[in-house]
Structure 1
Amino acid sequence: MNINESLLFLQGFFKNPQRVGSIIPSSRFLAAKMIQSVPWNEVKAVAELGSGTGAITRLMKAQLNESTKVLLFERDRKMRINLKTEYPDFVCHSNACQLVKKMNQDGIGQLDCIISGLPFFNFTSEMRETLLNQIIEGLKPGGRFVAFQYSLQMKKKFAEELIIEKIEFVPFNFPPAFVYTCRKRETL
């Protein structure tokens, strides 16, 4: 992380604190925890929701096969432009609420994994529902959803839709965060 990325993130926070959720990008400790439980050798298509300045994207990229399709979603225009410059091989979109529509446009049937840095609890209940519905629809059966949150307030909601495999606390982040590792239920 460089000073420009930190300033970009801070600007985004002051512009819209409900959507950005923190004043600085995720720490390397949080980013490492986010990607460690994903079987990257099996991932053919992945989406990252709330990519910010790419703190998690950077570590994720190092794990990917060349043929893996990657969708990045970032609402902040300046951060999205930065992501497009840093990751020209990845497709960037602005609105994670249109995940399935963008997957279809990009020729992706289902995702093996969704990584999320979205501050779900900051959103309206309608927006949370829309996002979770998009995540469930976008993931293949057994697909992984890995998200960090700054509290355990989303635990019950995530558990309604997904199997929570583990929740890990990451103290070396500001603010400290919880990493949820979840899996979409298999269809019968």
Structure 2
Amino acid sequence: MSHSPAPRRRIPAPRPADGFMLLLEAARDLRTVGAVAPSGKALARALTEPVRAQAGQPLDILEAGAGTGAVTRTLIPQLAPGSRLDVAEANPRFAHRLSELVRAHPHLAGRPPEQVRVHDVHVERLETGRRYDVIVSGLPFTNFSPHHVEAIMDRYLELLRPGGTLTYFAYRGTGRARALLASPAQAHRHRAVERLLAAYRDRCATGRRTAWANLPPATVWQLRRPAYAVEHSGTRAATAEGAGGAGGVPGPAGVPRTGL
């Protein structure tokens, strides 16, 4: 008696509704949803380059701020046997969409269910009991206060293994746009965040590339956690944020803090 082959699971394609969902969530809270369209393939590929560079190796990977899953779709087929991917997404509607993507993805058929986990939580509160070889960040840093960005970056460095790589991106031209359109307080906060991120890059950056094909174009940075402990002096160079924001930008002696 012959058996017909089991139907093949198809890779869940980006839904046309994903773009509308992202736009709707941005309208609800543009402060925490930094994009109005899903990341393009060029940006997703640039963000996941450290994973491809270690192809075939079992890696622990964290994606933070995954949105509707444009980068997650790029990461999953790159998971070697023994790899683990944790996805931290604090927006419950996005987290539900990501869980659907994981359940239906054919690359994960027959693999342990714990290989990919979606966590409906802010990354600062993520507790998985593991360190990561690669962290991919999709969080909109320029929408946050400097204190919030510092908390996230410090948590990333705590979660990275020594020698591990963090990738994050920033849309090109946002500084000029904010200078023209934002309030003075918002523009001041944006400049403070840029100075803070530049301080982390001065200590940890190993490269950058521009995804020109993305809309809008975006610069992707790679930062590497030092393979040695960095003591934190506890000093801070305080800066006033003006109306509508909390102050505080770390001075050079306080960046980066690894928590070790």
TM-score, length-normalised on structure 2? Answer: 0.65
Write out aligned runs for 1:27-46 (5 A): 27-38=40-51, 39-46=54-61
In the alignment, does 2:128 pair up with 1:139? no
Unaligned runs of 5+ in 1: none
> Cα distance, 1:91 vs. partner?
1.5
Name the structure 1 match of 2:69.
54
Write 1 or 2 for the structure with the bigger share of strand.
Answer: 1
Q: CA RMSD in A?
A: 1.8
Name the structure 2 match of 1:72.
87
Cα deviations across residues 133-162 of structure 1 (Å, max 9, x unaligned)? 1101000000010111124836413225x5
> Cα distance, 1:57 vs. partner?
0.7
* Aligned-pair identity (%): 25
Name the structure 2 match of 1:158.
200
Contact 1:111–1:140 (CA<8 Å) still a contact in 2?
A: yes
Distance 1:40 1:146, change over 3 A: farther
Name the structure 2 match of 1:6.
19
Cα deviations across residues 2-54 of structure 1 (Å, max 9, x unaligned)? 20211111111111111111100100111111112332433421110110111
**SS of equivalent residue, structure 2 residue 48:** helix
In the alignment, does 2:118 pair up with 1:92? yes
Name the structure 1 match of 2:140.
119
Cα deviations across residues 67-122 of structure 1 (Å, max 9, x unaligned)? 212111112211110001111442222211113xx222xxx2x1111001111121
Name the structure 2 match of 1:103.
128
Q: Which region of structure 1 is more displaced relative to structure 2, 83-92 or 115-124?
A: 83-92
Matched AA of 1:3? P
Aligned residue pairs, count: 181
Contact 1:43–1:113 (CA<8 Å) still a contact in 2?
A: no
d(CA) in 2 for partners of 1:131, 1:40 = 27
Contact 1:22–1:175 (CA<8 Å) still a contact in 2?
A: no
d(CA) in 2 for partners of 1:135, 1:43 = 20
d(CA) in 1 for partners of 2:58, 2:136 = 12
**SS of equivalent residue, structure 1 residue 172:** coil
Matched AA of 1:134? R
Contact 1:117–1:149 (CA<8 Å) still a contact in 2?
A: no
Greater radius of gyration (CA): 2
